[in-house]
Amino acid sequence: MNHFELFGLPTQYQLDGSLLSSQFRELQKRFHPDNFATASERDRLLAVQKAAQINDAYQVLKHPISRAEYLLAQNGVEIRGEQQTLQDPMFLMEQMELREELEAIPSASDAQDVLAEFDARVSKMYKQHLSAIEQELNAALWQQAADRVRKLKFIAKLKNEIELVEEKLFG
pLDDT at 33: 83
SS3 sequence, 130-167? HHHHHHHHHCCCHHHHHHHHHHHHHHHHHHHHHHHHHH
Write the burial class of residue 57 (CB in 10 Å: 0-12 exposed, 13-18 middle, 19+ buried). Answer: buried
Question: 41-62 and 64-74 are packed helices; what angle lies between their axes, rounded to 10 degrees?
Answer: 110
CB count, 10 Å around CB of 154? Answer: 19
Question: CA–CA distance from 112 to each of 107, 120, 122, 135, 165 (Å)?
Answer: 10, 12, 15, 35, 10
Between CA 167 and CA 33 the distance in angstroms is 39
Between CA 32 and CA 34 the distance in angstroms is 5
Between CA 144 and CA 88 the distance in angstroms is 12
CB count, 10 Å around CB of 71? Answer: 23
Q: Which domains are present in the chain?
A: 3-62 (1.10.287.110), 89-170 (1.20.1280.20)
pLDDT at 83: 64
pLDDT at 34: 86
Q: Cβ(70)–Cβ(133) under 8 Å?
A: no
pLDDT at 35: 87
pLDDT, tens digit only, all 171 positions of the chain: 999 999 999 999 999 999 999 999 999 999 988 888 888 999 889 989 999 999 999 999 999 999 999 999 999 998 877 666 678 899 999 999 999 999 999 999 999 999 999 999 999 999 999 999 999 999 999 999 999 999 999 999 999 999 999 999 887
Between CA 118 and CA 100 the distance in angstroms is 12
**pLDDT tens digit string along 45-58?**
998 999 999 999 99
Residues present in the chain in total:
171
